[in-house]
Amino acid sequence: MPLFFSILSLFVTTLYFASPAKAGDYVLHPVSDGIYYHQGVHQDATANNIGAIANVGFIVGEQCVAVIDSGGSYQEGKLLRNAIRQHTSLPVCYVINTHVHPDHILGNAAFKADNPKFVGHEKLPAALASREQHFVRQFSEVLGTAEEDIEFIAVDTLVTPEAPLELDLGNRTIVLTAYSTAHTDHDLTVFDVNTKTLWTGDLLFVERIPALDGSINGWIDALESLVTVDADKVIPGHGTAFDAKDTAGWQALLRYLTTVREGIRFIINDMGTIEEAIATVGTQEAEKWKLFEAYHRRNVTAAFVELEWE
Amino acid sequence: MTITKKILIAILTLLCTLGFITPGVSADDDRWSGLKQAYFGDREIRENADDLLVLEAPTRAEDAAIVPISVKSLQPQTPDKYIKNLHLIIDKNPMPYSANFHLSPQLAQVDLATRVRIDQYTNMRAIAEMNDGSLHMVTRFVKASGGCSAPAGKDMAAAMARLGKMQIRMREVTLGEPTQAQVVISHPNNSGLQFDQKTRGYIPPHFVKEVTIDYAGETLIKLEAGISISEDPSIRFEFAPQQHGVLTAVVHDSKDMTYTADKEI
């Protein structure tokens, strides 16, 4: 009997602690003057991590604050907002979404009261519209209680690949650049001119296996141009922020994507099959990435059906 | 029954509901008996026909919208005894009856592969209908979900730009030797289940209904397909050309569009 009750209480305790993380645990790291980010964990989204798996953060100008990606749940959005309030009382004037993936946008609703402009790539609204229903279904399964209060907020300020958008936060200009299809078909980067800090969104994954949801060819092209940006600091979509002099993060992602592409092209030219590609291509990268098993074969599948039409 | 037992049962029920414990397969069996009745009536189907068919599918699919599967026969196609139809059924898809391959005895061997969408963890069945009318089934369980309502296309602009483009891909042929060929058509294969938030409606279904593959004037394969087939439908098959000729593939879709491709051998 005592054993039975201790199992029961363990179960109840686990449920209790699985509910919202405390603000004190939500650590923001300074990157440059007035720029902070919270580093996501290298896990899949769960109720326990409240979907806080991507890098999110903010830039403080003299007049207002720009949030760059809002988190993987409403709860993470609230934690981020509280953290901002501990640094500054300036209003949040922009919430910038680097792309549609839920770990980057589900915190948007936490900033509604600030009445900011929501900013994204011109193709972000369409991407959100086509995925919204899918996300709701998927995320009620994976996020559990952290999925509550989900609200998708459409962006109202759009950026086109032809014309980068400059935003002024008060003596602080940030430049938003939209890309043609790469990691997704609507990636956006943010560059802080004063400190030369580049937020890459998921155009750059560090440590964590990248997830291909756009075009492998387009992504390699985008990376080859991004690596030449004159920056001092880089904040990737996942993984630790780093000094721009160190290009190892860029090189690792380029190596992964080109390895996958060359492997698949070889199989396609040899009239081989998608099954062969999924089983063999890029397996030498396994030790080099977190969550490799969870995403690699999916990346090969996506790249194969793209490269089949070259 | 003691109070403790009642509590224990209540907790177990809760755990089951939360998905911690997988319930038995009885619900799946019920589903199949309904499908069997709907598609095959009272006809007898021999189960576990592993002596005749091999169905290969990933146990856990990487991308529910593109799940590569293959079906091979362990017995050759001969004019006296051959697989006339191969039925592919994905129990829990919105349209479970996913494909019907009409097969010629001219195919020396049945070795087919395609890519399908999977909507929920499900049984998948390949059922061979022999020329004598007998039915033989093999079953696989596949873990994947969301493939039928998943947003179409990672790059819709690129996909629409090449709609209708076709390829016939194969290695150099030696006459009389079996060879693999792949027919693939660029087509969104819209399932009709993808919701468009902008128009507040479902994107109308637009999918490949029929693919006919002929060699030297004889039909080798005719596929009748539905929305379970992935975007950019692909059929890979084996055949053994005995003389020079032209391999043609003709595709009809649900909007009455026709696309063709051919390859001289």
- Is there a contact between B154 and A138 if contact means CB atoms under 8 Å apart? no
Asked whether the predicted pLDDT for residue B147 surpasses 80, the reply is no
What pLDDT is stored for residue A18 in this prediction? 35
Chain A partners within 8 Å of B170 (Cβ):
271
Q: What is the pLDDT of residues A163-173, one digit of tens each?
A: 999 999 999 99
- In this prediction, residue B233 carries a pLDDT of 96
What are the tokens at B233? Answer: 């439908």
Question: What is residue B230's DSSP assignment?
Answer: P
* Radius of gyration for the alpha carbons in chain A, expressed in angstroms and rounded: 20
Give me the torsion for CA of B3, B7, B10, B12, rounded to 10°.
-130
CA torsion angle B107 B111 B117 B123 (round to 10): 110
Residue whose entry in the numeric block shows the structure tokens 């009745």 = B37
Per residue in A28-49, pLDDT (tens digit) is 999 999 999 999 999 999 889 9
CB atoms inside a 10 Å sphere around CB A19: 13
B68–A273: do the CB atoms touch at under 8 Å? yes
Q: Computed from CA positions of residues A128, A130, A136, A139, in that sequence, does the dihedral angle turn out positive or negative?
A: negative
How much is the pLDDT for B210? 97
| CB of B1 less than 8 A from some CB of A | no
The neighbouring-strand residues paired with B213 are B221, B249
pLDDT of residue A295: 93
pLDDT confidence of residue B198: 63
**pLDDT band, residue B108 (cuts 50/70/90):** confident
Half-sphere exposure of A107 (CA within 13 A, CB side): 28
**pLDDT value of residue A242:** 98
Under 8 Å CB pairs connecting chains A and B tally to 91
Give the tokens for residue B138: 């093999």
- pLDDT computed for residue A13 by the predictor: 35
Greater model confidence, A6 or B139: B139
CB–CB contact B154 A126 (8 Å): no
The model's confidence at residue B197, banded by pLDDT at 50, 70 and 90, is low
Strands B53-56 and B166-170: unpaired
Residues of chain B with pLDDT > 70, as a percent, come to 85
Reported as a single tens digit per residue, the pLDDT across B219-234 is: 999 999 989 999 999 9
Continuous segment of H or E residues that includes residue A104: helix A102-105
pTM over 0.80: yes
pLDDT of residue B20: 37
pLDDT at A206: 98
Mean pLDDT score, B249-258 = 96
Pairwise CB contact (< 8 Å): A271 & B156: no
Task: Please tell me the predicted confidence (pLDDT) of residue B150.
Answer: 64
Contact A214 B154 (CB under 8 A): yes
- Centre a 10 Å sphere on the Cβ of residue A193 and count the other Cβ atoms it contains: 11
Ranges of H-type helices in A107-215: 124-142
How confident is the model at residue B152, as a pLDDT? 59
Q: Which of A143, A125, A140, A136 is nearest to A21 (CA)?
A: A143
For residue A306, the chain B residues in CB contact (below 8 A) are 154-155
Nearest to A301 among B63, B146, B149 (CB): B63
The pLDDT confidence band at residue B202, using thresholds 50, 70 and 90, is confident
Low-confidence ranges of chain A (pLDDT < 50): 1-23
**Which of B2, B111, B148, B154 is most worth mutating to test chain A (most A CB atoms within 10 A of its CB)?**
B154
What is the helix (H) or strand (E) element at residue B218, kind and residue range? Answer: strand B218-225
pLDDT at residue A110 in the model: 95
Side chain identity at residue A31, one-letter code: V
Report whether A57 contacts A68 (CB < 8 A). yes
Chain length of chain B: 265
- pLDDT in the model for residue B3: 43
What are B4's two structure tokens? Answer: 């403790």
- Residue B120 pLDDT grade (very low, low, confident, very high; cuts 50, 70, 90): confident
Strands B97-103 and B83-90: antiparallel
Q: What is the pLDDT of residue B164?
A: 92
